[in-house]
Amino acid sequence: MDEPKKVAIVEDDAKTREMLCGFFSDYTAENGVNFDVSDYGSGEAFLADERSFDIILMDIELPGRDGMETVRELRKRDRDVIVIFATNMAQFAVKGYEVEAFDFIVKPMTYYNFTIKIRRALERSKTKRVRDIWINVSGAGRRRISAAKLKYVEVMGHRITYHTTEGDFASSGSMLKVKEELSDLPFELCNRCYLVNLKFVEEVRPFQIVVGGETLQVSHLKRNEFMSKLNLYLSTGGVLLSNIFLNKLLFMVEILVAEILCTVYLKKRSKYPLRLAAYIIVSLAVGAAFPVAVNNFPYACFMFFTLFAITVGLLKLLYNEPWINILFCSVAAYTVQHFAYELANLILIVALRNSAPIFGMYTSTEVDLTALSQGQIIYALIYVLGYYAVYGVFFVIFGKSIKKSGNLEVKRPYLLLVVGIGLIVDIVLNSGYVYLSKGEDFASGLIIYS
């Protein structure tokens, strides 16, 4: 018989804790999976118990230290445990990528939604690659280190320091031997002295990275290769940043569709189809390659606006129009994308009031379409239809009017500036209202709202 999966339930409501314990008992009876369940009434009580768990069900709205803060503290000692948040407010789910949440259950919980989430969590726990390595610690004999807890390896001459979540351990040897031992795991050189565990990368700067709270230098020679490997890790399911990576690509698709609809009737340059294909390919490639960062919301906001600015510049290659016309249509496109996003998410939140979230980019660090119920698929269709219905209406009103007149002339350029400022003010005020009123971080609200 397999070892029981160790589960922690952190929930201040005693009846909910009892219900969840019952859910685990029912799941065991139906599927033959054994669980060792521990329950806690507060984040402080949970953190005081330093045992390791396989799965944690965490209420977000806890008294004292809330669920987000509790998991943020937990991540300092355990970066691998699977965390499923429970919340009665769907919009709280977007904060989860900060602490690498695996999934969410929206209250009130049902046994059906519970089984979907637990089944996915169990499948994930089977595929986690955790391996131990043995090192000769100077003056202390041999020691076993979990590769999952190894943040980075530092080599100075023949001295090797293993920086882990449990402390630093000195040994001797060569970088070549260390690389061979960790070759099948996500470790990459950022310079000749540091071998970095990619899942501990928290922030990317021009020639620096933050790894587990420590700043490391990235060499000019290694930077392109390291960033390429980091982006590949993220794009293929690296749990650290897959959420924001997907969100970034989704934004690019949305803004490209909006810009094409807003500019399709402008005066086209020669070989327009080829230029259009290049515009789409280059925009998506730049979006995929653009560096991302964790816990750096001003940079994330800068990233999205920069990606938008790049698409605006590429539009000039498609159309034989003055810059003012390109800017006008681009701001219009950004506005309609922003409005469609808000309307579609309003529909989605209403639809999900009594169901589990469905999109990884807004509610989880993963997207698993195979785990969707029929009702959730319907909700997804509602989301998509609501989104592009806005695009369709705008195209009929805006695009057709340009086609009818045969020309676009912006007679009052200062109005474009006013509209652009108004859009930024709209984002700032709404994000402030939505998130500051709930005690959330303002910069976090800004990037989520934008």
Residue 94 maps to which CATH number? 3.40.50.2300
Q: What pLDDT shows up at residue 399? A: 62
Q: How far apart are CA 264 and CA 208, in angstroms?
A: 41
Q: 86 and 105 in contact (C-beta within 8 Å)? A: yes
Q: How far apart are CA 218 and CA 194, in angstroms?
A: 9
Q: How far apart are CA 189 and CA 224, in angstroms?
A: 11
Q: How far apart are CA 417 and CA 75, in angstroms?
A: 44
Q: Is 397 helix (H, G, I), strand (E, B) or coil?
A: helix
Q: Quick one: 108 and 214 in the same domain?
A: no
The number of angstroms, rounded, from the C-alpha of 315 to the middle of its chain's C-alpha atoms is 28
- Hunting for tokens 């350029």 — which residue is that? 413
Show the domain range for 159.
132-184+187-235
Q: Quick one: 117 and 141 in the same domain?
A: no
Q: Quick one: 248 and 340 in the same domain?
A: yes
Mean pLDDT (10-residue bins), the chain, 450 residues: 82 92 93 91 89 87 87 80 77 56 80 87 67 76 80 90 90 86 82 90 83 88 84 55 63 87 84 93 87 59 82 91 83 80 65 41 37 52 71 72 58 64 62 41 42
Q: What pLDDT shows up at residue 402? A: 63
Which pLDDT tens digit goes with each residue over 65-86? 888 889 888 887 777 788 888 8
**Is the dihedral angle over the CA atoms 426, 431, 432, 433 positive or is it negative?**
positive
Neighbour count for residue 440 (Cβ, 10 Å): 19
Considering its fold, how many domains does the chain have in total?
A: 3
CATH code where residue 154 lies: 2.40.50.1020
Q: Quick one: 254 and 401 in the same domain?
A: yes
**Hey, what are 37's tokens?**
């369940």
Q: Quick one: 308 and 405 in the same domain?
A: yes
Alpha-carbon torsion, ordered 404, 407, 412, 416, to 10 deg: 80
Q: Quick one: 227 and 156 in the same domain?
A: yes
**Hey, what are 258's tokens?**
């909006």
Query: Which of 127, 157, 175 is at the close of a domain?
Result: 127
Query: Which of 213, 235, 257 is at the close of a domain?
Result: 235
Q: Quick one: 428 and 284 in the same domain?
A: yes
Q: 218 and 194 in contact (C-beta within 8 Å)? A: no
The number of angstroms, rounded, from the C-alpha of 32 to the middle of its chain's C-alpha atoms is 33
Please work out, in degrees rounded to the nearest 5, the angle formed at the alpha carbon of residue 366 by the alpha carbons of 363 and 372: 75
Q: Quick one: 62 and 47 in the same domain?
A: yes
Q: Quick one: 308 and 255 in the same domain?
A: yes
Query: Which of 176, 211, 235 is at the close of a domain?
Result: 235
DSSP 354: T
239-250 b/e with 16+ CB inside 10 Å = b? bbbbbbbbbbee
Q: 83 and 101 in contact (C-beta within 8 Å)? A: yes
Q: 343 and 389 in contact (C-beta within 8 Å)? A: no
Q: Is 344 helix (H, G, I), strand (E, B) or coil?
A: helix
End-to-end CA distance of the chain: 50
Element (H, E) at 47: helix 43-48
**Is the dihedral angle over the CA atoms 76, 78, 82, 83 positive or is it negative?**
negative
The amino acid present at 344, given as its one-letter code, is: A
Which pLDDT tens digit goes with each residue over 315-353? 999 998 888 888 888 888 888 877 777 776 666 555 544
Q: Quick one: 136 and 123 in the same domain?
A: no
Q: Quick one: 414 and 296 in the same domain?
A: yes
Q: What pLDDT shows up at residue 371? A: 42
Which of 244, 242, 224 minimizes the C-alpha distance to 234? Answer: 242
Q: What pLDDT shows up at residue 242? A: 45
Q: Quick one: 167 and 82 in the same domain?
A: no
Q: What pLDDT shows up at residue 318? A: 92
Q: 335 and 329 in contact (C-beta within 8 Å)? A: no
